[in-house]
Amino acid sequence: MRKTVFLIAFLLTLTSTAFAQFFGGEKVTIYGIDFKANEVCGQKKFVGAPDYYRTPILNPLITKKNDDYYYSLGSYRRDKNTMETLDLFNLSLQDNNYPFLDTIDFDYYKSIGLARVEQKMPSLSTDSDYLKLKSYLKDSTHLPIAQRKKILFNSKNLYKNLILMSRYEIFSNEFTVDKKKVTKATTELKAQLDTITISTSAEISAKVRAYLNRLADESTNLKGYYVDARLDPAYIDKINYYINNTPRINIGNDQFAYNLKNYVLSNNAAANTSLVAIQLDGSFNKTRISIDSISADLSAQFQIPSADVKRIAASINFTFTRNETMTFKNKFNNLFIVRYFTSSIIDEVKFPEQKFTYNDGLEDGKRMGILVSELKKYYLTNNSFPNSLRDLNLNNVLSELGDTNLQYTLFSTGYIKLVFGGADLSLNTNDDKIYEGKNGKLVRIK
């Protein structure tokens, strides 16, 4: 059903594209500087993979430090209209065990990812440490995946990062930043330069300030990068295969499993399988802003006493250097996510239908009996019901029943409601089994 929702969104996107083309294309503003899509990526809109659903331009743009943006890839949003992200396939980057996700990942590494790593860095084919790691990951099938994952995360950062990053396709294209934008980028610098004491002569001061304005623009090197990053199509294919062939009850109950069930069963959730972003890189021409170069200009062009030249030049150089650190290094080197995209394949994944037998019903009945009994015992011991079913230490029972097939509501310490989805493995249907607990007593009311 989510497909229908996205079809409407896609049609709206096509309409917005027509308007964008009519009015000259999309644009974003970063630090007061406007960047049009046709300047950045050569098209009317900020686009990535052509067959993906896309969000509107994010407002505000999401700022990420350096390469942290790729952690957004594989996350998801509860609703296509919200920008708040929740972890999903990006949990692959965490040093924790997520059995179902790890199964997908290590199948990908074995069949595709390791070959991609060696293609990117051919020297690894003769690196004995890497080859030993490769053998553990690919050939040591007698080792549990959890153990192989531990080996991967304890390996050299170079190897670990290359293998984890093999799940992505990342394209970065440089674009030209014209001089008008450079002038806007140096506005703050010029204001700082304007505070430097130059001369008691207003005429000389005015001429030097005009020189400093030119120097700020001419010595500034500003370039941009348009980043198009996505989950590798082969990795998406692996995800699609495993989800479509694994019953929901077999996914597990860890953080990944919980979020995956919520994503797949939602009609509105959207996966962030691709994104486009802009990164600015700024620096100064060190020769032009050196103390010696500025001193030479001040001496040759203006009637400034030689005793003051070095002092003024040092102040100017310091202002440039400080601005490079504060603005270019701390601000411009950030990456700004413009929009997310959702793969139509990931959008349509679903768990296979699961046949529920008479014996399955008997087993679930026994598990619900254990759960109800433990709730009563908990109340007798604590004079209250638990805040969560997890407080009962019945992880195996809860796993078999399925987290997404149970709904526990604590109204007060002495009043609860427990709903079990039953044979259809879905809550809020006629098949629900409903229990009510008051003051330590639990009764099935439906």
Note the pLDDT tens digit of each residue in 52-69.
788 888 888 888 877 788
pLDDT at 154 over 70: yes
Lowest mean pLDDT among 40-44, 87-91, 227-231: 40-44
Task: Report which of residues 424 and 432 the model is more confident about.
Answer: 432
Q: Give tens-digit pLDDT for 26-62.
A: 999 988 889 999 999 888 999 876 657 888 888 888 8
Total length of the chain: 446
The encoded tokens of residue 226 equal: 């348009």
CA distances from 140 to 115, 116, 133, 145 (A): 17, 20, 10, 9
Asked if the model's pLDDT at residue 22 lies above 60, the reply is no
Specify the range with the lowest mean pLDDT, choosing from 25-39, 160-174, 273-287, 388-402.
388-402
pLDDT at 15 over 50: no
Q: What is the mean pLDDT of residues 341-366?
A: 84
Q: Residue 198 — pLDDT band, cuts 50, 70, 90?
A: confident
Whether pLDDT at 342 is above 70: yes
Q: Please write the tens of the pLDDT for every residue from 114-145.
A: 999 999 999 999 999 999 999 999 888 888 99
pLDDT for residue 354: 67
Per-residue pLDDT, 18: 43
Prediction pTM value? 0.73
Per-residue model confidence (pLDDT) at position 355: 66
Average the pLDDT over 180-185 and give the result: 85
* Sheet order of strands, 441-444 included: 406-412, 415-420, 433-438, 441-444
C-alpha separations of 424 from 261, 264, 366, 434, 439 in Å: 15, 16, 17, 14, 31
CA distance 40 to 319: 30
pLDDT at position 1, please?
38
Q: Is the pLDDT of residue 9 over 60?
A: no
Can you give 241-305 as a three-state secondary structure string? HHHHCCCHHHCCCCHHHHHHHHHHHCCCCEECCEEEEEEEEEEECCCCCCHHHHHHHHHHHCCCC
Predicted confidence at residue 10, as pLDDT, reads 44
Q: Does 442 or 396 have the greater pLDDT score?
A: 442
> What are the residues whose beta carbons fall under 8 Å from the beta carbon of 282, sequence distance 6 or more?
185, 220, 221, 222, 324, 327, 328, 332, 333
Which range (16-30, 129-143, 336-350, 353-367) has the least confidence?
Answer: 16-30
pLDDT (mean) for 260-278:
91
The average pLDDT across 364-375 equals 90
Cα 138 from chain centre: 28
Judged by DSSP in three states, 406 sits in strand
- Residue identified by tokens 């037998």 is 357
- Say which range, 20-24, 212-216, 329-333, has the weakest mean pLDDT: 20-24
Return the higher-pLDDT residue of 152 and 388. Answer: 152
Does position 3 have pLDDT exceeding 50, yes or no?
no
Quick check: 17 pLDDT over 90? no
Could you give the percent of the chain with pLDDT greater than 90? 49
pLDDT of residue 346: 94
**pLDDT tops 70 at residue 13:** no
3-state class (DSSP) for residue 206: helix
